[in-house]
Chains A and B, each alone.
Chain A
Amino acid sequence: MAHHPGLTAPTDPVPGVRLRGLHRAFGGRTVLDDIELDIAKGEFTALLGHSGSGKSTLLRAVGGLDGAAAGRGVVEVPEPSAVVFQDARLLPWSRVLDNVVLGLPGPRAAALARGRAALAEVGLAGKERAWPGTLSGGEAQRAALARALVRSPELLLLDEPFGALDALTRIQMHSLLRNLCARHQPAVLLVTHDVDEALLLADRVLVLADGRFSLDLPLGGPAGPGRRGSAEFTELRERLLRALGVPEEDRS
Protein backbone atom coordinates (compact mmCIF):
# COMPACT_ATOMS: atom_id res chain seq x y z
CA MET A 1 0.00 0.00 0.00
CA ALA A 2 2.87 2.31 0.74
CA HIS A 3 3.75 2.30 -2.95
CA HIS A 4 0.41 3.73 -3.91
CA PRO A 5 -0.21 6.78 -1.86
CA GLY A 6 -3.66 8.07 -2.51
CA LEU A 7 -5.13 4.62 -2.91
CA THR A 8 -6.91 3.08 0.04
CA ALA A 9 -7.62 -0.57 0.22
CA PRO A 10 -11.29 -1.34 0.92
CA THR A 11 -10.23 -3.72 3.67
CA ASP A 12 -8.60 -0.98 5.71
CA PRO A 13 -10.23 -0.48 9.08
CA VAL A 14 -12.72 2.35 8.85
CA PRO A 15 -11.29 5.38 10.67
CA GLY A 16 -14.70 6.75 11.58
CA VAL A 17 -18.40 6.37 10.90
CA ARG A 18 -19.48 6.68 7.29
CA LEU A 19 -23.16 6.59 6.35
CA ARG A 20 -24.38 7.00 2.79
CA GLY A 21 -27.94 6.77 1.57
CA LEU A 22 -29.25 5.22 4.78
CA HIS A 23 -32.96 4.70 4.41
CA ARG A 24 -35.48 3.33 6.87
CA ALA A 25 -39.27 3.23 6.83
CA PHE A 26 -41.76 1.76 9.23
CA GLY A 27 -44.96 0.66 7.55
CA GLY A 28 -44.70 3.17 4.73
CA ARG A 29 -43.65 6.06 6.97
CA THR A 30 -40.14 7.20 6.10
CA VAL A 31 -38.13 7.75 9.26
CA LEU A 32 -34.65 8.04 7.78
CA ASP A 33 -34.52 9.50 4.31
CA ASP A 34 -31.23 9.09 2.47
CA ILE A 35 -29.07 9.93 5.48
CA GLU A 36 -25.46 10.89 4.93
CA LEU A 37 -23.15 11.26 7.89
CA ASP A 38 -19.45 11.11 8.76
CA ILE A 39 -18.14 11.04 12.29
CA ALA A 40 -14.37 11.29 12.62
CA LYS A 41 -12.34 9.46 15.25
CA GLY A 42 -12.50 11.38 18.50
CA GLU A 43 -15.39 13.50 17.33
CA PHE A 44 -18.28 13.85 19.78
CA THR A 45 -21.49 14.23 17.83
CA ALA A 46 -24.82 14.90 19.48
CA LEU A 47 -28.02 14.07 17.67
CA LEU A 48 -31.10 16.05 18.66
CA GLY A 49 -34.67 15.50 17.60
CA HIS A 50 -38.20 15.16 18.83
CA SER A 51 -39.36 11.83 20.13
CA GLY A 52 -40.29 9.82 17.08
CA SER A 53 -37.94 11.80 14.84
CA GLY A 54 -35.90 8.70 14.14
CA LYS A 55 -32.82 9.58 16.15
CA SER A 56 -32.86 6.28 18.04
CA THR A 57 -33.54 4.46 14.77
CA LEU A 58 -30.41 6.05 13.34
CA LEU A 59 -28.37 5.00 16.35
CA ARG A 60 -29.70 1.46 16.15
CA ALA A 61 -28.84 1.29 12.47
CA VAL A 62 -25.30 2.48 13.18
CA GLY A 63 -25.02 0.01 16.04
CA GLY A 64 -26.15 -2.87 13.84
CA LEU A 65 -29.19 -3.48 16.03
CA ASP A 66 -31.68 -2.86 13.26
CA GLY A 67 -31.69 -5.92 11.06
CA ALA A 68 -34.06 -4.41 8.53
CA ALA A 69 -31.85 -1.36 7.99
CA ALA A 70 -28.90 -3.48 6.98
CA GLY A 71 -28.31 -3.62 3.28
CA ARG A 72 -30.01 -0.30 2.73
CA GLY A 73 -27.31 2.17 1.87
CA VAL A 74 -23.77 2.23 3.18
CA VAL A 75 -23.09 1.84 6.89
CA GLU A 76 -19.40 1.73 7.69
CA VAL A 77 -18.58 1.65 11.34
CA PRO A 78 -15.23 1.35 13.13
CA GLU A 79 -14.71 -1.68 15.33
CA PRO A 80 -15.09 -2.30 18.17
CA SER A 81 -18.16 -0.30 19.00
CA ALA A 82 -20.11 -0.11 22.24
CA VAL A 83 -23.63 0.98 23.13
CA VAL A 84 -24.97 2.58 26.29
CA PHE A 85 -28.75 2.44 26.48
CA GLN A 86 -31.13 4.66 28.39
CA ASP A 87 -31.66 1.88 30.90
CA ALA A 88 -28.36 0.63 32.29
CA ARG A 89 -29.31 -2.85 31.10
CA LEU A 90 -27.19 -4.74 33.58
CA LEU A 91 -27.97 -8.43 33.92
CA PRO A 92 -29.64 -8.57 37.36
CA TRP A 93 -28.30 -12.08 38.00
CA SER A 94 -24.65 -11.18 37.38
CA ARG A 95 -22.47 -9.18 39.71
CA VAL A 96 -21.32 -5.74 38.57
CA LEU A 97 -17.86 -6.87 37.48
CA ASP A 98 -19.29 -9.81 35.53
CA ASN A 99 -21.63 -7.40 33.80
CA VAL A 100 -18.76 -5.12 32.85
CA VAL A 101 -16.69 -7.90 31.28
CA LEU A 102 -19.70 -9.59 29.62
CA GLY A 103 -18.64 -11.02 26.28
CA LEU A 104 -15.12 -9.63 26.52
CA PRO A 105 -12.78 -11.83 24.48
CA GLY A 106 -9.45 -13.11 25.69
CA PRO A 107 -8.32 -14.82 28.90
CA ARG A 108 -10.65 -14.33 31.82
CA ALA A 109 -8.06 -13.03 34.27
CA ALA A 110 -6.99 -10.27 31.89
CA ALA A 111 -10.61 -9.37 31.19
CA LEU A 112 -11.37 -9.14 34.90
CA ALA A 113 -8.35 -6.91 35.47
CA ARG A 114 -9.50 -4.59 32.71
CA GLY A 115 -13.03 -4.66 34.11
CA ARG A 116 -11.77 -3.62 37.53
CA ALA A 117 -9.77 -0.79 36.00
CA ALA A 118 -12.83 0.40 34.05
CA LEU A 119 -14.97 0.31 37.20
CA ALA A 120 -12.36 2.34 39.04
CA GLU A 121 -12.32 4.81 36.19
CA VAL A 122 -16.05 5.47 36.50
CA GLY A 123 -15.77 5.73 40.28
CA LEU A 124 -17.22 2.34 41.13
CA ALA A 125 -14.18 0.73 42.72
CA GLY A 126 -15.38 -1.52 45.53
CA LYS A 127 -18.69 -2.31 43.80
CA GLU A 128 -17.28 -5.22 41.79
CA ARG A 129 -19.15 -7.86 43.77
CA ALA A 130 -22.39 -5.89 44.16
CA TRP A 131 -25.62 -7.06 42.54
CA PRO A 132 -26.97 -4.57 39.99
CA GLY A 133 -30.25 -4.40 41.87
CA THR A 134 -28.51 -2.74 44.80
CA LEU A 135 -27.04 0.11 42.71
CA SER A 136 -28.58 3.57 42.43
CA GLY A 137 -29.63 4.79 38.99
CA GLY A 138 -26.44 6.82 38.58
CA GLU A 139 -24.22 3.95 39.72
CA ALA A 140 -25.96 1.54 37.35
CA GLN A 141 -25.39 3.91 34.45
CA ARG A 142 -21.73 4.27 35.44
CA ALA A 143 -21.41 0.50 35.38
CA ALA A 144 -22.97 0.52 31.91
CA LEU A 145 -20.42 3.13 30.88
CA ALA A 146 -17.63 0.95 32.28
CA ARG A 147 -19.01 -1.99 30.27
CA ALA A 148 -18.70 0.16 27.14
CA LEU A 149 -15.25 1.53 27.97
CA VAL A 150 -13.67 -1.81 28.82
CA ARG A 151 -14.03 -2.71 25.15
CA SER A 152 -11.82 0.27 24.15
CA PRO A 153 -14.44 1.24 21.58
CA GLU A 154 -13.55 3.15 18.44
CA LEU A 155 -17.22 4.11 18.34
CA LEU A 156 -19.35 4.88 21.37
CA LEU A 157 -23.11 4.98 20.84
CA LEU A 158 -25.13 6.62 23.59
CA ASP A 159 -28.91 6.36 23.41
CA GLU A 160 -30.24 8.99 25.83
CA PRO A 161 -28.00 7.53 28.52
CA PHE A 162 -28.86 10.13 31.14
CA GLY A 163 -32.55 10.49 30.38
CA ALA A 164 -33.65 8.52 33.42
CA LEU A 165 -31.28 10.18 35.90
CA ASP A 166 -32.01 13.03 38.29
CA ALA A 167 -30.53 16.46 37.55
CA LEU A 168 -27.67 16.26 40.06
CA THR A 169 -26.57 12.81 38.97
CA ARG A 170 -26.79 13.93 35.36
CA ILE A 171 -24.32 16.78 35.99
CA GLN A 172 -21.83 14.32 37.49
CA MET A 173 -22.30 11.93 34.60
CA HIS A 174 -21.73 14.71 32.08
CA SER A 175 -18.33 15.59 33.45
CA LEU A 176 -17.44 11.90 33.79
CA LEU A 177 -18.37 11.25 30.17
CA ARG A 178 -16.44 14.30 28.97
CA ASN A 179 -13.31 13.16 30.75
CA LEU A 180 -13.60 9.59 29.55
CA CYS A 181 -14.12 10.62 25.94
CA ALA A 182 -11.21 13.04 26.07
CA ARG A 183 -9.00 10.24 27.36
CA HIS A 184 -10.15 7.41 25.08
CA GLN A 185 -10.94 9.44 21.96
CA PRO A 186 -13.68 7.29 20.42
CA ALA A 187 -16.03 8.60 17.78
CA VAL A 188 -19.21 9.36 19.74
CA LEU A 189 -22.83 9.51 18.69
CA LEU A 190 -25.00 10.77 21.51
CA VAL A 191 -28.75 10.69 20.99
CA THR A 192 -30.52 13.12 23.28
CA HIS A 193 -33.52 15.41 23.42
CA ASP A 194 -31.74 17.79 25.80
CA VAL A 195 -30.37 20.82 23.95
CA ASP A 196 -28.22 21.93 26.88
CA GLU A 197 -26.72 18.47 27.22
CA ALA A 198 -25.80 18.48 23.54
CA LEU A 199 -24.23 21.94 23.76
CA LEU A 200 -22.32 21.00 26.88
CA LEU A 201 -20.80 17.76 25.63
CA ALA A 202 -20.51 17.75 21.86
CA ASP A 203 -18.10 18.99 19.24
CA ARG A 204 -20.92 19.01 16.77
CA VAL A 205 -24.70 19.00 17.02
CA LEU A 206 -27.11 17.53 14.48
CA VAL A 207 -30.85 18.01 14.42
CA LEU A 208 -32.92 15.28 12.83
CA ALA A 209 -36.35 16.24 11.48
CA ASP A 210 -38.53 14.55 8.88
CA GLY A 211 -35.91 11.94 8.18
CA ARG A 212 -33.14 14.38 7.37
CA PHE A 213 -30.64 16.54 9.21
CA SER A 214 -32.18 19.99 9.37
CA LEU A 215 -29.13 21.41 11.12
CA ASP A 216 -25.45 20.45 11.39
CA LEU A 217 -23.64 22.76 13.79
CA PRO A 218 -19.96 22.49 14.61
CA LEU A 219 -19.24 23.81 18.09
CA GLY A 220 -15.94 25.54 18.66
CA GLY A 221 -13.73 25.38 21.69
CA PRO A 222 -13.40 22.73 24.37
CA ALA A 223 -16.58 21.11 25.57
CA GLY A 224 -17.68 21.67 29.14
CA PRO A 225 -19.53 24.04 31.40
CA GLY A 226 -17.15 26.84 30.38
CA ARG A 227 -19.21 27.20 27.25
CA ARG A 228 -22.27 28.18 29.16
CA GLY A 229 -23.22 31.83 29.50
CA SER A 230 -21.33 33.14 26.49
CA ALA A 231 -23.20 35.08 23.88
CA GLU A 232 -22.31 32.41 21.34
CA PHE A 233 -23.77 29.68 23.52
CA THR A 234 -27.04 31.59 23.89
CA GLU A 235 -27.22 32.10 20.15
CA LEU A 236 -26.54 28.42 19.37
CA ARG A 237 -29.13 27.38 21.88
CA GLU A 238 -31.66 29.68 20.23
CA ARG A 239 -30.87 28.24 16.82
CA LEU A 240 -31.21 24.67 18.02
CA LEU A 241 -34.48 25.31 19.80
CA ARG A 242 -35.79 27.02 16.70
CA ALA A 243 -34.72 24.09 14.57
CA LEU A 244 -36.55 21.80 16.95
CA GLY A 245 -39.65 23.96 16.57
CA VAL A 246 -39.86 25.19 20.15
CA PRO A 247 -41.93 28.40 20.19
CA GLU A 248 -40.06 31.53 21.28
CA GLU A 249 -42.08 32.11 24.46
CA ASP A 250 -41.11 28.62 25.71
CA ARG A 251 -37.35 29.00 25.23
CA SER A 252 -36.00 29.75 28.67
Chain B
Amino acid sequence: MATTEARTPSAAPSAPRRRVPGPGGRRRIPFARALGPLLLLATWQLCSVTGILDPQTLAPPGAVGQQARELLISGQLGHHLWVSLQRAALGLAFGATTGVLLALLAGLSRLGEALIDGTAQLFRALPILALVPLAILWFGIGEEVKIILVALGTFFPIYVNTHAALTGLDLRWAELAATVGLNRRQFLRRIALPGAAPGFFTGLRLAVTVSWLVLVVSEQINAASGIGYLMEQARTFGQTDVIVVGLVVYGLLGLASDTLVRLLERRALQWRTTLG
Protein backbone atom coordinates (compact mmCIF):
# COMPACT_ATOMS: atom_id res chain seq x y z
CA MET B 1 0.00 0.00 0.00
CA ALA B 2 2.73 2.37 1.06
CA THR B 3 4.71 1.84 -2.13
CA THR B 4 1.69 2.46 -4.29
CA GLU B 5 1.06 5.73 -2.55
CA ALA B 6 4.68 6.75 -2.92
CA ARG B 7 4.62 6.09 -6.61
CA THR B 8 1.52 8.11 -7.31
CA PRO B 9 1.66 11.02 -4.92
CA SER B 10 -0.42 13.28 -7.11
CA ALA B 11 -3.40 10.95 -7.34
CA ALA B 12 -5.75 12.36 -4.75
CA PRO B 13 -8.31 9.93 -3.44
CA SER B 14 -11.17 10.84 -5.71
CA ALA B 15 -14.66 10.67 -4.31
CA PRO B 16 -16.79 8.05 -5.99
CA ARG B 17 -18.78 9.73 -8.72
CA ARG B 18 -22.43 9.61 -7.92
CA ARG B 19 -25.01 8.94 -10.52
CA VAL B 20 -27.50 11.77 -10.53
CA PRO B 21 -30.91 10.38 -11.24
CA GLY B 22 -32.57 11.91 -14.26
CA PRO B 23 -32.00 11.94 -18.00
CA GLY B 24 -28.46 10.65 -18.56
CA GLY B 25 -25.83 11.98 -20.88
CA ARG B 26 -24.15 15.33 -20.79
CA ARG B 27 -24.19 16.19 -24.44
CA ARG B 28 -26.78 18.85 -25.18
CA ILE B 29 -28.83 18.30 -28.29
CA PRO B 30 -28.77 21.43 -30.45
CA PHE B 31 -32.17 23.13 -30.83
CA ALA B 32 -33.61 20.48 -28.53
CA ARG B 33 -36.85 22.34 -27.88
CA ALA B 34 -37.60 22.85 -31.58
CA LEU B 35 -36.93 19.25 -32.49
CA GLY B 36 -40.33 17.80 -31.57
CA PRO B 37 -42.42 20.47 -33.30
CA LEU B 38 -40.24 20.30 -36.43
CA LEU B 39 -40.67 16.54 -36.58
CA LEU B 40 -44.41 16.98 -36.23
CA LEU B 41 -44.42 19.53 -39.05
CA ALA B 42 -42.41 17.21 -41.28
CA THR B 43 -44.79 14.33 -40.61
CA TRP B 44 -47.75 16.57 -41.37
CA GLN B 45 -46.17 17.65 -44.68
CA LEU B 46 -45.29 14.08 -45.56
CA CYS B 47 -48.81 12.82 -44.87
CA SER B 48 -50.31 15.65 -46.94
CA VAL B 49 -47.98 15.06 -49.91
CA THR B 50 -48.55 11.31 -49.93
CA GLY B 51 -52.30 11.84 -49.72
CA ILE B 52 -52.72 10.09 -46.38
CA LEU B 53 -54.08 13.38 -45.07
CA ASP B 54 -57.05 14.65 -47.04
CA PRO B 55 -57.04 18.51 -47.33
CA GLN B 56 -60.69 18.31 -46.22
CA THR B 57 -59.44 16.87 -42.95
CA LEU B 58 -56.35 19.03 -42.57
CA ALA B 59 -54.82 21.36 -45.13
CA PRO B 60 -51.07 20.89 -45.82
CA PRO B 61 -48.63 23.24 -44.02
CA GLY B 62 -47.85 25.09 -47.22
CA ALA B 63 -51.51 25.89 -47.84
CA VAL B 64 -51.86 27.12 -44.29
CA GLY B 65 -48.89 29.43 -44.74
CA GLN B 66 -50.30 30.68 -48.04
CA GLN B 67 -53.71 31.26 -46.47
CA ALA B 68 -52.14 33.16 -43.57
CA ARG B 69 -50.34 35.40 -46.04
CA GLU B 70 -53.51 36.11 -47.97
CA LEU B 71 -55.51 36.82 -44.82
CA LEU B 72 -52.78 39.16 -43.65
CA ILE B 73 -52.53 41.02 -46.94
CA SER B 74 -56.28 41.40 -47.33
CA GLY B 75 -56.39 42.85 -43.81
CA GLN B 76 -58.97 40.31 -42.69
CA LEU B 77 -56.69 38.67 -40.15
CA GLY B 78 -55.63 42.04 -38.76
CA HIS B 79 -59.23 43.15 -38.41
CA HIS B 80 -60.44 40.02 -36.62
CA LEU B 81 -57.33 39.88 -34.47
CA TRP B 82 -57.83 43.48 -33.39
CA VAL B 83 -61.46 42.80 -32.48
CA SER B 84 -60.52 39.73 -30.45
CA LEU B 85 -57.69 41.54 -28.70
CA GLN B 86 -60.00 44.41 -27.74
CA ARG B 87 -62.58 42.04 -26.30
CA ALA B 88 -59.99 40.12 -24.32
CA ALA B 89 -58.31 43.26 -23.02
CA LEU B 90 -61.55 45.01 -22.06
CA GLY B 91 -62.96 41.91 -20.38
CA LEU B 92 -59.72 41.30 -18.55
CA ALA B 93 -59.55 44.92 -17.43
CA PHE B 94 -63.07 44.79 -16.01
CA GLY B 95 -62.52 41.38 -14.44
CA ALA B 96 -59.21 42.34 -12.88
CA THR B 97 -60.45 45.68 -11.54
CA THR B 98 -63.53 44.22 -9.86
CA GLY B 99 -61.50 41.21 -8.71
CA VAL B 100 -58.96 43.38 -6.93
CA LEU B 101 -61.55 45.80 -5.54
CA LEU B 102 -63.76 43.08 -4.13
CA ALA B 103 -60.72 41.17 -2.80
CA LEU B 104 -59.67 44.31 -0.94
CA LEU B 105 -63.18 44.85 0.44
CA ALA B 106 -63.47 41.23 1.51
CA GLY B 107 -59.92 41.05 2.83
CA LEU B 108 -59.90 44.25 4.83
CA SER B 109 -63.37 44.52 6.33
CA ARG B 110 -65.43 42.04 8.30
CA LEU B 111 -68.67 43.06 6.60
CA GLY B 112 -67.01 42.76 3.19
CA GLU B 113 -65.74 39.32 4.07
CA ALA B 114 -69.20 38.19 5.12
CA LEU B 115 -71.00 39.62 2.10
CA ILE B 116 -68.51 39.06 -0.69
CA ASP B 117 -66.38 36.06 0.06
CA GLY B 118 -69.16 33.59 0.70
CA THR B 119 -70.92 34.63 -2.50
CA ALA B 120 -67.76 34.51 -4.56
CA GLN B 121 -66.83 31.07 -3.28
CA LEU B 122 -70.32 29.87 -4.17
CA PHE B 123 -70.16 31.00 -7.80
CA ARG B 124 -66.53 30.03 -8.22
CA ALA B 125 -67.56 26.40 -8.47
CA LEU B 126 -69.63 27.20 -11.57
CA PRO B 127 -67.90 26.50 -14.92
CA ILE B 128 -68.01 29.90 -16.53
CA LEU B 129 -68.99 28.58 -19.96
CA ALA B 130 -72.18 27.16 -18.48
CA LEU B 131 -73.34 30.77 -18.27
CA VAL B 132 -73.18 31.28 -22.04
CA PRO B 133 -76.86 30.46 -22.78
CA LEU B 134 -78.11 32.70 -20.01
CA ALA B 135 -75.70 35.46 -21.01
CA ILE B 136 -76.99 35.38 -24.58
CA LEU B 137 -80.58 35.56 -23.35
CA TRP B 138 -79.78 38.50 -21.12
CA PHE B 139 -77.35 40.49 -23.17
CA GLY B 140 -78.08 39.37 -26.71
CA ILE B 141 -75.29 38.70 -29.15
CA GLY B 142 -73.59 42.09 -29.21
CA GLU B 143 -70.16 43.10 -28.00
CA GLU B 144 -71.26 43.38 -24.36
CA VAL B 145 -71.93 39.71 -23.88
CA LYS B 146 -68.42 38.69 -24.95
CA ILE B 147 -66.79 41.28 -22.75
CA ILE B 148 -69.02 40.37 -19.82
CA LEU B 149 -68.21 36.68 -20.19
CA VAL B 150 -64.48 37.37 -20.30
CA ALA B 151 -64.80 39.72 -17.33
CA LEU B 152 -66.68 37.09 -15.33
CA GLY B 153 -64.23 34.37 -16.27
CA THR B 154 -61.20 36.46 -15.31
CA PHE B 155 -62.75 37.86 -12.16
CA PHE B 156 -62.64 34.63 -10.20
CA PRO B 157 -58.97 33.65 -10.46
CA ILE B 158 -57.93 37.22 -9.71
CA TYR B 159 -60.35 37.63 -6.82
CA VAL B 160 -59.52 34.28 -5.24
CA ASN B 161 -55.75 34.63 -5.43
CA THR B 162 -55.61 38.28 -4.40
CA HIS B 163 -57.97 37.63 -1.50
CA ALA B 164 -55.92 34.62 -0.37
CA ALA B 165 -52.71 36.64 -0.44
CA LEU B 166 -54.37 39.46 1.47
CA THR B 167 -55.81 37.30 4.24
CA GLY B 168 -52.51 35.44 4.42
CA LEU B 169 -50.62 38.65 5.20
CA ASP B 170 -48.68 38.34 8.42
CA LEU B 171 -50.23 40.03 11.45
CA ARG B 172 -46.76 41.36 12.22
CA TRP B 173 -47.26 43.92 9.46
CA ALA B 174 -50.42 45.21 11.09
CA GLU B 175 -48.47 45.54 14.32
CA LEU B 176 -45.71 47.41 12.54
CA ALA B 177 -48.28 49.69 10.93
CA ALA B 178 -49.62 50.49 14.39
CA THR B 179 -46.19 51.30 15.83
CA VAL B 180 -45.25 53.65 12.99
CA GLY B 181 -48.71 55.18 12.97
CA LEU B 182 -49.89 54.36 9.45
CA ASN B 183 -53.41 55.50 8.66
CA ARG B 184 -55.79 53.30 6.68
CA ARG B 185 -54.86 54.75 3.32
CA GLN B 186 -51.15 54.39 4.00
CA PHE B 187 -51.68 50.84 5.23
CA LEU B 188 -53.45 50.01 1.99
CA ARG B 189 -50.74 51.53 -0.18
CA ARG B 190 -47.64 50.46 1.70
CA ILE B 191 -48.65 47.07 3.10
CA ALA B 192 -51.91 45.57 1.82
CA LEU B 193 -51.45 46.20 -1.92
CA PRO B 194 -47.79 45.20 -2.24
CA GLY B 195 -48.41 42.27 0.10
CA ALA B 196 -51.25 41.02 -2.07
CA ALA B 197 -49.36 41.60 -5.34
CA PRO B 198 -47.84 38.09 -5.60
CA GLY B 199 -51.33 36.59 -5.31
CA PHE B 200 -52.69 39.07 -7.82
CA PHE B 201 -50.10 38.07 -10.42
CA THR B 202 -50.77 34.37 -9.90
CA GLY B 203 -54.42 35.17 -10.51
CA LEU B 204 -53.63 37.35 -13.51
CA ARG B 205 -51.71 34.58 -15.25
CA LEU B 206 -54.59 32.18 -14.77
CA ALA B 207 -57.01 34.88 -15.87
CA VAL B 208 -55.18 35.52 -19.14
CA THR B 209 -55.53 31.86 -20.05
CA VAL B 210 -59.20 31.94 -19.10
CA SER B 211 -59.82 35.10 -21.14
CA TRP B 212 -58.75 33.40 -24.38
CA LEU B 213 -60.70 30.28 -23.55
CA VAL B 214 -63.92 32.20 -22.93
CA LEU B 215 -63.36 34.33 -26.00
CA VAL B 216 -62.85 31.35 -28.33
CA VAL B 217 -66.11 29.83 -27.22
CA SER B 218 -68.20 32.98 -27.25
CA GLU B 219 -66.82 34.11 -30.62
CA GLN B 220 -67.65 30.80 -32.19
CA ILE B 221 -71.18 30.82 -30.87
CA ASN B 222 -72.38 34.31 -31.60
CA ALA B 223 -70.20 36.79 -33.36
CA ALA B 224 -69.76 38.60 -36.63
CA SER B 225 -66.06 39.27 -36.12
CA GLY B 226 -63.04 38.01 -34.22
CA ILE B 227 -60.70 35.10 -34.68
CA GLY B 228 -63.31 32.67 -33.40
CA TYR B 229 -65.81 33.94 -35.98
CA LEU B 230 -63.19 33.58 -38.73
CA MET B 231 -62.70 29.94 -37.76
CA GLU B 232 -66.40 29.24 -37.44
CA GLN B 233 -67.02 30.67 -40.88
CA ALA B 234 -64.18 28.60 -42.31
CA ARG B 235 -65.86 25.52 -40.87
CA THR B 236 -69.03 26.14 -42.85
CA PHE B 237 -66.95 26.42 -46.05
CA GLY B 238 -64.70 23.49 -45.11
CA GLN B 239 -61.55 25.67 -45.17
CA THR B 240 -59.30 23.70 -42.86
CA ASP B 241 -56.37 25.99 -43.72
CA VAL B 242 -58.16 29.02 -42.26
CA ILE B 243 -59.06 27.02 -39.16
CA VAL B 244 -55.40 26.12 -38.65
CA VAL B 245 -54.41 29.77 -39.12
CA GLY B 246 -56.91 30.66 -36.39
CA LEU B 247 -55.49 27.99 -34.10
CA VAL B 248 -51.96 29.27 -34.63
CA VAL B 249 -53.06 32.84 -33.93
CA TYR B 250 -54.80 31.81 -30.71
CA GLY B 251 -51.71 29.89 -29.67
CA LEU B 252 -49.45 32.85 -30.36
CA LEU B 253 -51.81 35.18 -28.50
CA GLY B 254 -51.79 32.90 -25.46
CA LEU B 255 -48.02 32.68 -25.55
CA ALA B 256 -47.52 36.42 -26.01
CA SER B 257 -49.95 37.42 -23.27
CA ASP B 258 -48.40 34.96 -20.82
CA THR B 259 -44.94 36.35 -21.58
CA LEU B 260 -46.23 39.87 -21.08
CA VAL B 261 -47.71 39.02 -17.68
CA ARG B 262 -44.48 37.31 -16.66
CA LEU B 263 -42.53 40.44 -17.58
CA LEU B 264 -44.95 42.63 -15.65
CA GLU B 265 -44.71 40.30 -12.68
CA ARG B 266 -40.94 40.30 -12.76
CA ARG B 267 -40.90 44.09 -12.76
CA ALA B 268 -43.51 44.54 -10.06
CA LEU B 269 -42.10 41.86 -7.77
CA GLN B 270 -38.49 42.93 -8.22
CA TRP B 271 -37.91 42.61 -4.51
CA ARG B 272 -38.44 38.86 -4.80
CA THR B 273 -36.39 38.19 -7.90
CA THR B 274 -33.34 40.10 -6.70
CA LEU B 275 -33.08 37.63 -3.84
CA GLY B 276 -32.13 34.75 -6.09
Contact = CB atoms under 8 A, between A and B. Distances in A.
A176 interface: no
Interface string A105-123: 1000000000000000000
By size class, the interface of chain B is 20 to 34
A147 B179 CA distance: 11
Nearest to A64: B178
A209 B272 CA distance: 43
A131 B269 CA distance: 11
Interface in B32-51: none
Interface stretch (A34-42, A82-90, A183-191): A82-90
Contacts of A132: 271
Main DSSP-derived SS at the B contact region: helix
Main DSSP-derived SS at the A contact region: loop
A83 B270 CA distance: 28
A91 B195 CA distance: 9
A25 interface: no
A65 B178 contact: yes
Contacts of A104: 180
Contacts of B197: 93
A192 B172 CA distance: 20
A61 B272 CA distance: 34
By size class, the interface of chain A is 20 to 34
B186 A103 contact: yes
B122 interface: no
Contacts of A92: 271-272
A147 B274 contact: no
B188 interface: no
Interface string B178-190: 1111100010001
Given A103-B190, A131-B275, 15 more contacts: A65-B175, A81-B179, A85-B172, A87-B172, A89-B173, A91-B176, A91-B190, A91-B191, A93-B194, A93-B195, A102-B180, A102-B190, A103-B177, A103-B182, A131-B271
Closest 3 CB pairs of A and B: A103-B180, A93-B194, A83-B179
Interface of B: 172-173, 175-182, 186, 190-191, 194-195, 197, 269-272, 274-275
